[in-house]
Structure 1
Amino acid sequence: MSSTSSLRFALAANRLHHATPDAGLFTWLKASSETIRELDIELHTVGRTYDAIQREGFLSGYRKNIRYPYGREGGLMKLVSRVTIHEATPITLDGAIYLIDPVDPSSIFPEALALKRQCITHGKPFISTVAGAIEWMEVERVMAGRDPLSDCLSAEVIRGQTLALISHDALKAEMVAYASQYFDILSLFERRVATGTTGGLLNELAWSKGWPEDKPWVDRYLSGPLGGDAQIADLVLDRKCQRVIFFEDPHVARQHEADIQLLERAVRVATHDATCATAREVARKWAEAVQRANAG
């Protein structure tokens, strides 16, 4: 994440999320405008999304909402290069909030897919749901030493949720290390689920930490290639799984890519209820924020 005092985020929203006054973009802004102003967060906003914010009167007078061209004029493409970390990058963004309509064809345009991939590659949040955008502003707020404005990071809320833990083959060891480091936080969840091999490794970890051996720490579903991602997507769609931590490897093609996309699409359908972290660094920052929010 950026070491500068002012965070910078790409911001875009498909039409579904800004077409009406009660749309998702404005739900997020109602919850997060105070944090955006207090933390002096720069928003690098694609044209139509920027215009919608102006139309509805949000962030009035805020000079750090910066307008980019319309998507058709390259606005989203410009943001992709700016989430990379390189001395030649004119502005480095700390992540992207892209509120996606899962049936909008533009959500699978190359620039949209590239924005997500570059965020994962550089360990930055790619946030595609309303619930996730609200929560991430709370994460940044808590990590900046401010009191939370909502209870989305509270132990009480987490205890009523189900968490899915998924990792690609090259990152399974890192998922186990993550679960070991934040075992107490992850154990707060009412239920944990995982795809086959990852679930087996996580149960072995839990038992080694003293979890009762007659009780699985995670409920195991099928492996990803055999349908485990689709099974968890079904839980998300039924509002029976609220959080997905998915350690994705952006450098390897997967035979079951369609199943992975299905799960992520399900999360976006449940936009007001579900969150998804797809980078290891992002999952760690979320866990650190939960620890801080519940300290004392």
Structure 2
Amino acid sequence: MKADAVTATKKLRIGLIANRSHQDATNSALVQLLHGAGPALQHLQAEMVIVGRTLDAIISHGLIDSCPTVERFPYGREGGLMKLVSRVVDKDPARAVDAVIYLIDPVDPSSVFPEAQALKRQCVIHRKPFLATLASAREWLELEATATGAAIDSKLNPAFELSQEGIALIAHDAMKESILVMAEKHFDLLDSFGYRYATGTTGGLLNQLAQKIKGAEAGKNWVTPYLSGPLGGDAQLAELVLDRQIRRILFLEDPHVARQHEADIQLLERAARTVCDYAQVISEVSGADRWLTLLTQRIAAQT
């Protein structure tokens, strides 16, 4: 989200929906989210816009008190998800949502409905976080809460031991300059990751940047480059995600162009959603910049 979106006077409004397989079980992603992130939601005094059946599940699990303020939306079959898309683009700050948590089951057919695709696309266009996994929602809420004075959640500390973590850095053609600017700005943080991966041209450009910063020899293999996306690089990285070697994927998308390898892009996102408790994808520039800034602060607070 925009770097100035979270202030002492502006409460976050968060859209929330979960596919059915992430709702009902006592250890479902929805239950784990509210159990784990309830203190962060309370600290942020977040206003929740929750789609029908997801809210029913929250109530049935006795977790409604985890949500400070709730606006109920209709069931998905009655247009609840479509209305949530509208709230992403709404210009009225009293109605618009600042972020969307959509816990997606990769084999649920509703996750590829037009409204589900539009929800993600409009979040990217309007520079709002689209959080499609348990891991992404937990981390985002942790970072936003600690940025406003909340105590860190020590249970999450292992995921912030970056020397043991892998990150993928990917950018569409129109976004390659943006990822280079971002990588240079946050180079020290990215350099602290144990493993860095990229696709095609982006990998070469990032290694050139690292050579400029670290020297020709030290920087030449700063990222491990895989094939370009259209040639299968996204699929190669998806395997590493499924093997839990890549937890964080920074994938700067250009939502305004037709993408011939759209299936490959969706494959990488689907891999992250398959390991819902582990992996996450960050897809737009301002949200990624804020994420890296707050991640740096969270790491400093932990050490």
The TM-score with structure 1 as length reference comes to: 0.95
**Which residue pairs with 2:72 in the alignment?**
67
Work out the CA distance in 2 between the residues paired with 1:152 and 1:12: 23
Give aligned pairs, total.
295
Which structure 2 residues correspond to residues 147-166 of structure 1 after superposition, within 5 A?
Answer: 147-150=151-154, 152=156, 157-166=161-170
* CA displacement, residues 131-184 of structure 1 (integer Å, 9 cap, x when unaligned): 111101011112213232146477852221110000000000000000000000
Identical-residue share of aligned pairs (%): 49
Q: Residues 72 and 85 from structure 1, CA distance in 2 versus in 1: closer, same or farther, beyond 3 angstroms?
A: closer
CA shift for structure 1 position 5: 2.0
How far apart are the structure 2 equivalents of 1:213 and 1:39?
45
Deviations 1:26-80 (A, max 9, x none): 1111111111112110110000000000000003385512211000001110010
Q: Alpha carbon RMSD of aligned pairs, Å?
A: 1.8
Aligned to 1:77: 82
Question: Which structure 2 segments of 5+ residues have no match?
Answer: none
1:21 to 26, 32, 37: 26
Structure 2 residue aligned with 1:269: 274
SS state of the match for residue 60, structure 1? helix
Matches within 5 A, 1:166-181: 166-181=170-185
Maintained 8 Å contact 1:10/1:79:
yes
Partner of 2:243: 238
Contact 1:48 1:70 in 2 (8 A): yes
Change (3 A) 1:153 1:291: farther
CA distance in 2 between partners of 1:253 and 1:116 (Å) = 15
* Amino acid aligned to 2:186: Y
Q: In the alignment, what sits opposite 2:233?
A: 228
User: Which piece of structure 1 moves more, 281-290 or 165-174?
Assistant: 281-290
State the secondary structure of the residue aligned to 1:250: coil
1:107: which partner in 2?
111
Separation in structure 2 between the aligned mates of residue 189 and residue 17 of structure 1, nearest angstrom: 30
Aligned equivalent of 1:36: 41
- Tell me, yes or no, if the aligned pair for 1:85 and 1:122 is still in contact at 8 Å: no
Residues in 2 aligned to 1:291 and 1:164: alpha-carbon distance in whole angstroms: 17
Say which is worse superposed, 7-16 or 146-155, in terms of deviation.
146-155
253-262 or 56-65, larger mean C-alpha shift: 56-65
Name the structure 2 match of 1:116. Answer: 120
User: Higher mean Cα deviation, 140-149 or 98-107?
Assistant: 140-149
Equivalent in the alignment of 2:61: 56
* Equivalent in the alignment of 2:214: 210
Amino acid at match of 1:261: Q
Q: What residue identity is the alignment partner of 1:277? A: I
Aligned to 2:101: 97
SS of the residue 2:71 aligns to: strand
Counterpart of 2:203?
A: 199
How far apart, in 2, do the equivalents of 1:35 and 1:63 lie?
11
- Higher percent of residues as helix: 2
CA distance in 1, matches of 2:106, 2:19: 9
* Corresponding residue SS for 2:140: helix
Letter in 2 for 1:25: L
Please report how far the alpha carbon of residue 239 of structure 1 lies from its aligned counterpart in structure 2 after TM superposition: 1.1
| Cα distance in 2, alignment partners of residues 176 and 135 from structure 1 | 24
Contact 1:33/1:59 (CA < 8 Å) preserved in 2?
A: no
2:252 pairs with 239, 243, 247, which one? Answer: 247
- The corresponding residue for 1:278 is 283
Q: Do the aligned partners of 1:99 and 1:129 also contact (CA within 8 Å) in 2?
A: yes
Which amino acid in the other structure matches residue 141 of structure 1?
A
Q: 1:287 corresponds to which letter in structure 2?
A: L
d(CA) in 2 for partners of 1:150, 1:295: 13
